[in-house]
């Protein structure tokens, strides 16, 4: 079986503090589980982070963006 690869990698986004941002990536295989991380820290769904996945497209929504989220 071929390894899963990014068809569309994350793009840098600029957003003002206090707003929300959506980061999107596309994988080579639909339904592949995605683990979102910031450095070595795994992100978990919360009021701040929301995860969505439809087929091969995975999204991370970050609410109330702060400078430390960069």
CATH of the domain at 61: 2.60.40.10
Residue 56 domain flag: yes
Continuous segment of H or E residues that includes residue 24? strand 21-27
User: Do 10 and 22 touch, CB atoms closer than 8 A?
Assistant: no
What residue numbers bound the domain in which 57 lies? 1-8+20-69
Q: State CA 49 to chain mean position distance.
A: 9
The confidence score (pLDDT) of residue 3 equals 87
Residue 14 domain flag: no
pTM of the model: 0.87
Residue, of 2 and 45, whose pLDDT is higher: 45
Domain count, the chain: 1
* Tens digit of each residue's pLDDT (9 = 90 or more) over 27-70: 999 989 999 999 999 999 999 999 999 999 999 999 999 999 88
pLDDT at 23 over 80: yes
Residue 13 domain flag: no
Residue 42 domain flag: yes
The confidence score (pLDDT) of residue 24 equals 93
Name the one residue in this structure whose structure tokens are 């009021």: 47
Q: For 24, phi and psi rounded to 5 degrees?
A: -130, 140
């Amino acid at each position: 079986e071929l390894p899963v690869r990014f068809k569309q990698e994350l793009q840098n986004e600029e957003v003002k503090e206090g707003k929300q941002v959506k980061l999107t990536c596309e994988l080579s295989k639909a339904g592949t589980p995605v683990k979102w991380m910031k450095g070595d820290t795994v992100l978990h769904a919360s009021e701040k982070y929301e995860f969505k996945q439809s087929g091969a497209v995975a999204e991370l929504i970050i609410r109330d963006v702060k400078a430390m989220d960069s």
